[in-house]
Amino acid sequence: MGTVLASLAGTPRDLRQRELQLRYQRVCELFEDRRVEIVDGEIVIREVPTLDHNQVIFQLLLQIMFFVDQQGWTACNDIKVFLGAQIDRYRPDITVVPANPRMWDAENVYAQETLLVVEVVSPSSRIDDHVVKPRNCAKAGVPLYLVIDTGERTARLLSHPGQTGYSHEVAVVLGDSLVLPDPWDLKIDTARFVS
């Protein structure tokens, strides 16, 4: 116990962050079957995705997997994106990483190692997926962030990350094509996301 108390020394902000991380780890253990994230400094337990939500993910995977496999990359559906030691923890719907990405630990890939992060918007995650997560992913260096919103019938591809967010956005109405830029150079048929 003395070791734990000694490791908690630091500024009040450091103590709050460490306590948040400890609570987050406990909540992840309690809710192993749920998507647990830290968003804007709050622990969020997401609902189990619906069939429609999963069908959108499946339709995107069908379109990218051949290319992903050819490149030797991996498309993960349940890995955490490490934004920094004292920052939020996200579990995107899809995270594409290169072969042997640099990992913070066994469950967390460094944000700048990702090739594509995808969020399919749920009613409870609308602001997080459209505003909070892109802002923080850009700061951490996620190169491409794709938001698919079937409720709004749009897909937004954000690129060129920086400390103030993404400087480039391509938005399409679901049904139109969306091109993933280099290193992808791949056209996505968003009509497949509409049921």
Predicted local distance difference test score (pLDDT) of residue 21: 72
Q: Give Cα separations from 161 to 1, 112, 142, 164, 168 (angstroms).
A: 42, 10, 7, 8, 8
Sorted by where each begins, the domain ranges of the chain are: 49-193
What is the per-residue pLDDT across 49-98, written as a single tens digit (0 to 9) for each? 678 888 999 999 999 999 999 999 999 988 889 888 767 778 899 999 99
Question: Distance between CA atoms of 93 and 76, rounded to whole angstroms?
Answer: 8
Tell me which of 1-10, 34-43, 61-70, 121-130 is least confident: 1-10
* C-beta atoms surrounding 170 within 10 Å: 14
Predicted local distance difference test score (pLDDT) of residue 189: 97
Protein fold of 49-193: tt1808, chain A (3.90.1570)
Predicted local distance difference test score (pLDDT) of residue 34: 67
Question: Distance between CA atoms of 45 and 29, rounded to whole angstroms?
Answer: 12
pTM of the model: 0.79
The confidence band for 44, taking pLDDT boundaries of 50, 70 and 90, is low
What is the per-residue pLDDT across 109-159, written as a single tens digit (0 to 9) for each? 999 999 999 999 988 788 888 998 899 999 999 999 999 999 999 999 999
Q: Please report, as a single letter, which amino acid is at residue 140.
A: A
The confidence band for 9, taking pLDDT boundaries of 50, 70 and 90, is low
Predicted local distance difference test score (pLDDT) of residue 77: 86
**Beta-bridge partners for 154:** 149, 173
Question: Distance between CA atoms of 118 and 109, rounded to whole angstroms?
Answer: 15
Task: Pick the closest to residue 112 from 90, 82, 135 (CA basis).
Answer: 82
Q: Which two tokens stand for residue 61?
A: 């995977």
Q: Is pLDDT of 8 > 50?
A: no
